């Protein structure tokens, strides 16, 4: 099968390869990939910012496809089902984290496109327990961003609490999805983008943001919470300076540049800084049901599988609005 693979750690680009058809274990399903979103985490893997990926590795964890074969022990899915495959690819099920509903923190967890070959290919194998039905009101390419930008965005959004005024730093794939959820729930969204990035600010306004401006400027009012989708450490003290007492700053990325020191007064008055790590299967069930209810519109730019490096480059340099999606 055709695939785009990282063949050398930190290489910064993928190679076109031919791989043998993947083996289907007793608890696995074989998915013919119809679409695979391009996530910033893929970029961190390709650029060597995440430690010890499997090498070679096929990236991609926003997979939508059709099941073509099922393992002998699989009962939840059938051949012909359309499923989504996210970042969380396997957990042990027996550690304290798994048994307490926090499988996203399982120390033995394996992740799609990082430890397990992902969706930058014609086929992918996934554990059937970590595959999810895709809402039928989405076609393949518009469903793909829901599998990470949506899922991780949703977990970060829930961690931000119930305040009315939500600040979002960095307005890309996750932000444009979560903005729609927040507006559906009657909240206000304040988008803070890279200084000078008029395109991103306009995109935020098009998606319904109450206000859009630059991340080095104060929003027009204090924020109840802030979500950092931009992996930029200096935005942590900036966001802290913009939230109300008792407010929350949520760092949504798996990788972030160094956070500079900042005065204690920014954290005082019970402000909180927290990270979001991975996702749980319950997150996926809840969010995909919510996506069908809200009828979230995902903005995508399609690329051929062979053009995966172009998609990564466009993401790396900020040339994307919405999400890049590979179409094998």
Each residue of 302-324: pLDDT tens digit? 999 999 999 999 999 989 888 99
Residues 133 and 13 in one domain: yes
Judge whether 152 and 284 are in contact, CB under 8 Å.
Answer: no
Please tell me whether residues 320 and 260 are part of one structural domain: no
Are 197 and 71 found together in one domain?
no
Q: 138 with 17, same domain?
A: yes
Task: Report which DSSP code applies to 6.
Answer: B
Contacts of residue 54, defined as CB under 8 A and 6 or more positions apart, other chains included, come to 114, 115, 116, 117
Measured distance CA(44)–CA(39) in Å, rounded: 9
DSSP state, residue 268 = T
Residues 185 and 214 in one domain: yes
Percent of the chain residues past pLDDT 90, beyond the cut: 98
**Domain end position, chosen among 275, 291, 314:** 275
Domain's final residue, options 236, 257, 275: 275
* 63 and 171 both lie in a single domain: no
Note the pLDDT of residue 65: 98
Tell me the mean pLDDT in the region 37-44. Answer: 96
**More confident position, 90 or 21:** 90
Are 7 and 131 within one domain?
Answer: yes
298 and 211, same structural domain?
Answer: no
Residue range 100-159, pLDDT digits in tens: 999 999 999 999 999 999 999 999 999 999 999 999 999 999 999 999 999 999 999 999
Boundary (domain end) residue, out of 255, 275, 295: 275
Task: Give the pLDDT of residue 150.
Answer: 97
State the Cα–Cα distance between residues 88 and 114, nearest whole angstrom. 10
| φ, ψ for residue 112, nearest 5 deg | -65, 130
Instruction: Quote the pLDDT of residue 277.
Output: 96
Please work out, in degrees rounded to the nearest 5, the angle formed at the alpha carbon of residue 95 by the alpha carbons of 159 and 253. 30
The pLDDT score that the predictor gives to residue 135 is 95
Residues 9 and 117 in one domain: yes
- CA distance linking residue 4 with residue 154, whole number of Å: 29
Please tell me the total count of domains within the chain. 2
Residues 185 and 313 in one domain: no
Phi-psi region of 53 (alpha: psi -120 to 50; beta: other; left: phi over 0): beta
pLDDT at position 136: 95
Exposure string for 270-294, b = 16+ CB within 10 A, e = fewer? ebbbeebebbbbebbeebbebbbee
CATH code where residue 132 lies: 3.90.180.10
Q: How far apart are CA 324 and CA 309, in angstroms?
A: 11
Domain that holds residue 296: 2-147+278-327
Mean pLDDT of 200-216: 97
pLDDT score, position 21? 87
Q: What pLDDT, on the 0 to 100 scale, is given for residue 321?
A: 86
Query: Hey, which residues does 67 pair with through a beta bridge?
Result: 31
Across 64-92, b (16+ Cβ under 10 Å) vs e yields bbebebbbeebeebeeebbbbbbbbbbbe
Q: What is the CATH number of the domain that holds 164?
A: 3.40.50.720
CA-based max dimension of the chain: 59
Q: Clarify whether residues 173 and 211 are in a common domain.
A: yes
Say what the pLDDT of residue 209 is.
98
Query: Across the strands, what pairs with 35?
Result: 64
Kindly state whether residues 176 and 196 are assigned to the same domain.
yes
Percent of the chain whose pLDDT exceeds 70 = 100
* Kind of pairing between the strands at 165-169 and 223-228: parallel
Q: What is the mean pLDDT of the chain?
A: 97
């Amino acid at each position: 099968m055709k695939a785009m693979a990282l063949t050398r750690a930190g290489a910064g680009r993928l190679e076109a390869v031919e791989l043998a058809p993947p083996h289907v274990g007793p608890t696995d399903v074989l998915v013919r990939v119809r679409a695979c979103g391009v996530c910033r985490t893929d970029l961190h893997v390709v650029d060597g910012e995440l430690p010890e990926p499997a090498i070679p590795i096929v990236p991609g964890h926003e997979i939508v496809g059709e099941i073509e074969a099922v393992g002998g022990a699989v009962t939840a899915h059938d051949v012909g089902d359309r499923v989504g495959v996210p970042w969380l690819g396997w957990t042990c099920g027996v550690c304290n984290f798994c048994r307490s509903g926090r499988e996203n923190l399982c120390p033995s967890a394996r992740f799609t496109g990082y430890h397990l070959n992902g969706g930058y290919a014609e086929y992918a194998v996934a554990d059937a327990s970590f595959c999810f039905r895709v809402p039928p009101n989405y076609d393949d390419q518009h469903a793909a961003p829901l599998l990470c930008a949506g899922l991780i965005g949703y977990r970060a959004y829930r961690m931000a609490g119930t305040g009315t005024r939500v600040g979002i730093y960095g307005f890309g794939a996750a932000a444009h999805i979560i903005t729609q959820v927040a507006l559906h729930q009657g909240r206000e969204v304040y988008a803070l983008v890279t200084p000078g990035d008029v395109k991103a600010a306009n995109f935020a306004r098009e998606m319904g943001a109450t206000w859009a401006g630059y991340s080095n400027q104060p929003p027009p009012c204090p924020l109840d919470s802030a979500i950092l989708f931009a992996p930029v450490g200096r935005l942590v003290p900036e966001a802290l300076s913009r939230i109300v007492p008792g407010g929350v700053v949520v760092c949504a990325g798996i990788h972030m540049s160094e956070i500079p020191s900042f005065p204690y007064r920014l954290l005082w008055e019970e402000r909180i800084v927290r990270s979001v790590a991975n996702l749980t299967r319950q997150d996926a069930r809840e969010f995909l049901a919510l996506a069908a209810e809200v009828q979230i519109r995902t903005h995508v730019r399609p690329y051929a599988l062979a053009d995966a490096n172009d998609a990564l480059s466009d993401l790396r340099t900020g040339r994307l609005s919405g999400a890049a999606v590979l179409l094998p």
